[in-house]
Structure 1
Amino acid sequence: MSTAMAIATAGSPRLPTLREELRLLPAAANRDGSPAWTVQDPLTNRFFRIGWLDFEVLLRWSLGSARDIADSVNEETTLSIDEDDVHELAGFLEQNSLVRADTAQAVDRLRDRAARMQTSPLQWLLHHYLFFRIPLVRPQVWLAGLLPYVDWVFSRTTAWALAALTLTGLVLAGRQWETFAGTVVEQLTWSGMLGYTVALVFAKALHEMGHALTATRYGVRVAHMGVALLVLFPMLYTDTGESWKLHRSRQRLAIASAGMVTELALAGLATLAWSLAPDGAVRNALFFLATTSWVLTLLVNASPFMRFDGYFILSDLLDLPNLHERSGALARTWMRRTLLGFDEPWPERLPGRGNAMLIAFALVTWAYRLTVFLGIALLVYHFAFKLLGLFLMAVELVWFIGRPVWAELCVWRERKGEIRRSRKRWAGALLAALLLVVLLPWQTGVRASGWVHAERQQVIHSPLAARLAVVPQEGAVTQGQPLFALQSPELALSAQRALSLADARARELIGLSGFADGEERRQQLQHQQDRYLAEASLFQGEQQRLQLVAPFAGVLTDLDPQLAGGVWVQPRQPLAILVDPSRWTVEAFVAEEDMARVRVGDAARVYLQTRSREALVGRVVEVDATRTTMLPHAMLDANKGGSIVVVPREGSAAAAGSASAAEHAPRDALYRVRIALDGRPASLRMALSEVVITGQAHAWLPGLLERLAVVLVRESGF
């Protein structure tokens, strides 16, 4: 680009001189079909997209004055511009340091700008601790040498083959889904975490190689590769910033999606190999590769709400560079116009519903980032030592969340004179209504998870290992009615043997008559006969225990469908449940902060977690004074489909690796509240439920502040 400066027209202000090293590159056409170009600053490796008007002005920059440039453009093109358009472009060039500092005023401006950009170490840390890069290698030479050997990877045949293998792997893994899901839980150990970490490093290395090789294939220079620290968590990165040189958006899209495609291919091949591999270390390694690649690619990299691959893919698909900045500017303008009534011009107008879509995208992005930043705040608090955790959490909440909100509120305050009175009245009314909602006690419902069961019920089980002879049918039974008849051949054989030995001793006693030493022998035989008779009585008594009868009248339910005549059952194995259908109760587990609002006699509504979503009413009859330390039934455990998160109890076998639900305690402080139901479930079966107790009314904001105060007091000790 020529940078010679002609003598300015007399009386016309002199335009600054363009830097000689700037490069002007063709770019893909804009969405409206108009031509576009890219200005590259090779010193900072930044790219600026310009349109037709800016291009024509830059071509005539050597004319030296805004008046001459505007006249030339108007005469030689169909455009119609004035001097203000030229000065606006000059301001843009100066703002981004694209012009030479060849005057004292320009040098002073650069010095002032450099002084404003100077930050203290603390400010630098606040800006960069969330994310900064450490370049490690300049890979362009060896990437170019490697490309011929891997060029087959980019063929259509390879793509179809990988798709077929991935689909086959997913089908095979689906047939072993229970094993696959169980492996996820089994690998949540320290050794498993190490395996996931190794798999993550390997998958991410291939991810970045996908970006780098694809960029090299399209002639884009990969300036450097290295490690980026995201909240002090290391991750690999590849600099493909020069992909904006490409004027075809399809090529930029290929570079942006290459990492995700590589990881998905790795996940598909690892899933197929896991499905075919035998149990062992190799299969575990394949499992780590499959899960980390699938999860991180789909949940993290594909998200367009952070500057990961999904963002650049969406930008290229929509052909909207700087998507976050442009959508954010539109959303701020929309809020100011809608909420405050500002007559503010739109930053840009996209065809069709483009503006509405970008505004919606910005609002979702803000909500997503708020969630992410809050999660990062909690993460750094829990994983750093307490003092550092509190500091980093404060940085997250104040710097990354509070500061942008405060900056926008400051704009509203400076322009409060533009707000119409009607908007102020509506805002005051809305604020008053909001204060009433958060300060007045109106919320009465106390929600809890519960377990619905008959007040009187008994699990029928076998006391001994035995064989079923008679299996009953589900339905109504009377007290004392035979239910299960079981047989134990060992007991019968032992009883028969004991009776035979007792009969033998009886015959010997008869044969002792007439012997001189018969009395002494008689006592010994009599003692043995009594012992064998006692053993026979014991075995016969055990056999009687195997004849299970109904201890009370009720309904027999939950009969094990695998039971049949001749089937062996284990000791204490549940066979069925006998319930008294006349009275039913609910054991609800209420959070500690809500216990003060629950009283005996409070009404409650119970929603069964069944297909019918049956609703029952009842009343609180008992409130525990101490927290629950053990779940009454395994169905409440979140690991088994319930809603209560549990942890192994200290000193229990579960803490050492046992899976017994009885040895797990609720993670949170929960208190049992027993509710007597006025009716009974239609199915007459135990079921999980959601309980809403009509407790004492409370205000939302005071309750929230109280809980925050409790947390602050609890966490304030070092």
Structure 2
Amino acid sequence: MQTPPSSNDPFDIRVKVDPAVQFSERGEGSETTFVASDSRTGKFYRFGNREYHAASLMDGEHTLAQINEQLRKDGVDWSAEDVLKYARELVQHRLAHVQPDAIGTTETDRPNPNDSRSHDRRGSGQRVLGWMSKVLSQRIPLADGDRIAEALLGSMGKLFQPTAIAVLGALIISGVAVVWTHHDALTLEVKRIFDRGLWLSLAVLWCLLKVIHECGHAVCAKRLGVRVGKMGVLFFLFAPLAYVDVTNAWKLPRRRDRIQIALAGVYVELIVGAIAAWIWYLSPVGMIRHVSAHVFLLAGPATILVNANPLLRLDGYYVFSDLTEIPNLRDQGRKRLLAWIERILFGIEMPQCHLSGWRRDIAVIHALCSVIFQIAWMMGLVIAIAAWAKGLGIVIAAVAVTLWAVVPLVRWMCKIWTTPGREGWVLSFYQRRLLTLSSTLCVVIHLMVVSASPFSRRVPVVVRYHGEQIERAPVGAFVAAIYVTCGQRVERGELLVELEQPELTVKRNQLADQLAAASRKAIQHRRRGELAMANALTEKGESLRRQIEELDQQVASLRIVADRQGQVTSSTIDQLHGRYVKLGDEIIRISDPQEKELLAVVSEDNLIAFRNAVQSETAAKIRLRGGPSIQAALAPLHPAASRRLPHPALSASNGGPLPIEPKGSDGQMLVSPQLQSVIPLDVMTSMKIKSGQIGRLTIPDDRSLVARLNDYLRERR
């Protein structure tokens, strides 16, 4: 038999859609869609009208060039490259195959024994990627979902009746209303959910809720006549997740039925969350109330964020795809987004989009949002796994980065490198552009790792009076007289307040009597020659004399005088007359409004950066809360760090930036040691700001961007 002549024209290839692929029409909406069911794998693929029309022409008899010509005659605005790419996608998904005896078969389509090594290398690479993907995700079927759905249909099936949907919908709304009106109390439960001691119980609750979620999908599908596949456990990053196979739902012709099945799991979980919300509201403080709050958080907000999110390829994605009538939404949107990026970076002409009108824009917007969201989502998962599982977590993180970032990036770069056209002397235009962009990216990454960050560090500051005199009660006493008022100007040595403590005078007189008696007895014993007794009484007299001196000092301290010139700034001084003040209670403050200073509190992490900023002698920018922005020259740090709270306004309990912890009966102390720097202010600046104002002082950041991001993530954990 004579071998047909070979051809180098790929459009002479004949492609035939596999007979196992069956198409069914979806006639709802403004655009007809088709679902391709592969009976060999049980997978379903959605096609638009033009894709289906092109696939129907791939019968193994017509070449791609003939199919392209027929599509043009039928009004389908596809280029020859679009037809070739579409045929390649069908072959890659094994929905079609190239006819081996086609006249248009090229030399590269025929098996070549010399290429066995390259085939082996590609096969080995695919096997390695397959093993790596199994490390991240493993699906284990456990039971026949159809039988379980049949058993639950009698009980759970009633949830999907129209009357039940209306009643339970009202229940869900009422549960949301209860939580909304009592969100302050629920916020406390939200803070406790991150307690590590509760992780095990939360994991158990999460697994139970996900089983209920998947049962909702299965029962709803069975109720609508869809055969349910296997049910089992999906381990994603070693986290157990229940799953159920309801892919046969694509056979349903009505869009609302498919949407109902997709939302059934979220619907059932929201019912559980609403019941938990009411139990939380009606229960007294205790374990039942605590567990109910956690069930609501997992079945309500967590489910909406994950399962109902259209940016993840879960329930919300399929609902959004059905509502917009965009088949293969993610694939088409990301291909269009990638083509848009290639056009900007390399000037590659964008191919004809299979979507038209607003659907094309929606697909691109969805692709962009989903890529950004999933990058942030996956980065969080990778960092959490790496921190939680230590060495094993680092291995898993490396595998995830390889599969999700490195492999797709390498494949995309190979595609650009091998793109024909626009040849040059040595390298093509696309290859030169790829090398330029790669080099630029490497330089940017190097700068992010090595160079100092262009952003700034922030140091908390508080405004206070310079040299302020703060007088506190030396003992527990009554305020007998007040000689000044708030806002009054006083001079140094002026009497401000007099306190009264009669017990001190009585006690001093008693000690004076004891001292006099001891002196007389000591003289008598010395006259009798009893020197030992005389010396003992003399020592006792010295002790009494010291106690009297201390009492005299306390009595003298009851008269509070001004140690400096200034103004009375205590707003409550006029209310203290006749009242009893305890030891340490503040009585009066004397300061000068024209003399203020900034107290900067510097953590150990910012120590070196702050010292460098001081040495540079550049004015720092300070932004005060509720006040103007000012500039001031930095002052050196005090040498010793302390955990003592430097100013009450800086405490986190008062709305400040510094975290504190109890210190027994002495008050509060800082969680970590802090250094201090006192920055003087000029008269004009002092008059514009108020004492007690807190703010942020910015200094240059000596860290790289990567180090800054690492520190931020560490603080968040």
Give the Cα separation in 2 of the matches to 1:261 and 1:559.
59
For 1:254-265, list aligned pairs within 5 A.
254-265=260-271
Task: Give the deviation of 1:208 after TM superposition.
Answer: 2.9
2:340 aligned with 1:334: yes
- The answer for the alignment partner of 1:584 in structure 2 is 597
Task: Give the deviation of 1:202 after TM superposition.
Answer: 3.6
From 132, 135, 156, the equivalent of 1:150 is 156
Change (3 A) 1:464 1:190: farther
Unaligned runs of 5+ in 2: 1-11, 515-541
- The answer for the alignment partner of 1:36 in structure 2 is 33
Task: Give the deviation of 1:64 after TM superposition.
Answer: 7.3
Change (3 A) 1:641 1:114: farther
Give the Cα separation in 2 of the matches to 1:548 and 1:210.
77
Give the Cα separation in 2 of the matches to 1:117 and 1:571.
83
Aligned-residue RMSD, C-alpha:
5.7
- The answer for the alignment partner of 2:293 in structure 1 is 287
Task: Give the deviation of 1:665 after TM superposition.
Answer: 0.7
State the secondary structure of the residue aligned to 1:418.
Answer: coil
- The answer for the alignment partner of 1:368 in structure 2 is 373
Change (3 A) 1:460 1:316: farther
From 126, 136, 152, the equivalent of 2:132 is 126
Instruction: Work out whether residues 140 and 222 of structure 1, in 8 Å CA contact, stay in contact via their aligned partners in 2.
Output: yes
For 1:214-225, list aligned pairs within 5 A.
214-225=220-231
Give the Cα separation in 2 of the matches to 1:122 and 1:647.
51
Change (3 A) 1:448 1:47: same
2:44 aligned with 1:47: yes
From 460, 463, 467, the equivalent of 1:450 is 460
Change (3 A) 1:632 1:409: farther
From 634, 655, 669, the equivalent of 1:662 is 669
Task: Give the deviation of 1:282 after TM superposition.
Answer: 1.4
- TM-score, length-normalised on structure 1? 0.71
2:429 aligned with 1:418: no
Change (3 A) 1:705 1:452: closer
From 596, 607, 632, the equivalent of 2:646 is 632
Instruction: Work out whether residues 461 and 600 of structure 2, in 8 Å CA contact, stay in contact via their aligned partners in 1.
Output: yes
For 1:69-88, list aligned pairs within 5 A.
none
Q: Give a deviation string over 1:102-146, Cα, whole Å, max 9, x none.
A: 98999999x999986676775333223233322222232232332
Which letter maps to 2:377?
V
- The answer for the alignment partner of 2:386 in structure 1 is 381
Instruction: Work out whether residues 652 and 660 of structure 2, in 8 Å CA contact, stay in contact via their aligned partners in 1.
Output: no
Q: How many pairs were matched up?
A: 648
State the secondary structure of the residue aligned to 2:182.
Answer: helix
State the secondary structure of the residue aligned to 1:304.
Answer: coil
Instruction: Work out whether residues 327 and 358 of structure 1, in 8 Å CA contact, stay in contact via their aligned partners in 2.
Output: yes
State the secondary structure of the residue aligned to 2:614.
Answer: coil
- The answer for the alignment partner of 2:619 in structure 1 is 604
Instruction: Work out whether residues 141 and 232 of structure 2, in 8 Å CA contact, stay in contact via their aligned partners in 1.
Output: yes
Once the two structures are aligned, what percentage of the paired residues are identical? 21
Q: Give a deviation string over 1:519-545, Cα, whole Å, max 9, x none.
A: xxxxxxxxxxx9999999999987986
Change (3 A) 1:557 1:660: same
Instruction: Work out whether residues 451 and 686 of structure 1, in 8 Å CA contact, stay in contact via their aligned partners in 2.
Output: no
Task: Give the deviation of 1:412 after TM superposition.
Answer: 3.0
Change (3 A) 1:604 1:209: farther
Unaligned runs of 5+ in 1: 1-11, 506-529
- The answer for the alignment partner of 1:623 in structure 2 is 637
- The answer for the alignment partner of 2:409 in structure 1 is 405
Which letter maps to 1:615?
S
Give the Cα separation in 2 of the matches to 1:407 and 1:34.
34
Give the Cα separation in 2 of the matches to 1:562 and 1:201.
64
Which letter maps to 1:453?
V
Task: Give the deviation of 1:171 after TM superposition.
Answer: 4.4
From 184, 199, 205, the equivalent of 1:193 is 199
From 349, 354, 360, the equivalent of 1:355 is 360
- The answer for the alignment partner of 2:26 in structure 1 is 27
Task: Give the deviation of 1:317 after TM superposition.
Answer: 2.8
Instruction: Work out whether residues 304 and 314 of structure 1, in 8 Å CA contact, stay in contact via their aligned partners in 2.
Output: yes
- The answer for the alignment partner of 1:305 in structure 2 is 311
2:275 aligned with 1:269: yes
Which letter maps to 1:456?
G
Give the Cα separation in 1 of the matches to 2:691 and 2:678.
18
For 1:542-553, list aligned pairs within 5 A.
552-553=564-565
- TM-score, length-normalised on structure 2? 0.71
Instruction: Work out whether residues 602 and 694 of structure 1, in 8 Å CA contact, stay in contact via their aligned partners in 2.
Output: no
Task: Give the deviation of 1:578 after TM superposition.
Answer: 5.7
Moved more, 334-343 or 144-153: 144-153
Give the Cα separation in 1 of the matches to 2:299 and 2:379.
25
Instruction: Work out whether residues 489 and 567 of structure 2, in 8 Å CA contact, stay in contact via their aligned partners in 1.
Output: yes
Moved more, 222-231 or 117-126: 117-126
For 1:104-143, list aligned pairs within 5 A.
122-143=128-149
Task: Give the deviation of 1:452 after TM superposition.
Answer: 2.0
Task: Give the deviation of 1:166 after TM superposition.
Answer: 1.7
Instruction: Work out whether residues 133 and 228 of structure 1, in 8 Å CA contact, stay in contact via their aligned partners in 2.
Output: yes
Give the Cα separation in 1 of the matches to 2:429 and 2:22.
53
